């Protein structure tokens, strides 16, 4: 999933923005996993 996001960023060539977005998405996914496992 993260690899797809990084691929899209390469195509858009907006490095700083994409790195920020990818990091945010990664943190969101991790938070989701933690929520699911804690139930």
Instruction: Tell me the CB-side half-sphere exposure of residue 7, using CA atoms within 13 A.
Output: 4
Report DSSP letters for 1-21, one per residue: -HHHHHHHHHHHT-HHHHHHH
Question: What's the pLDDT at 10?
Answer: 59
Q: Are 22 and 3 in contact (CB under 8 A)?
A: no
The whole-number pLDDT of residue 1 equals 45
CB of 9 closer than 8 Å to CB of 19: yes
Residue 20, pLDDT score: 62
Decide: pTM greater than 0.85: no
pLDDT at 22: 65
7 neighbors 35 (Cβ within 8 angstroms): no
Using one digit for the tens of pLDDT, what is the confidence trace for 1-39? 445 555 655 555 556 665 666 677 888 888 888 888 877
């Amino acid at each position: 999933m993260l690899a797809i996001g990084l691929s899209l960023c390469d195509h858009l060539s907006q490095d700083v923005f994409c790195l920020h977005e990818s990091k945010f998405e990664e943190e969101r996914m991790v938070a989701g996993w933690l929520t699911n496992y804690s139930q």
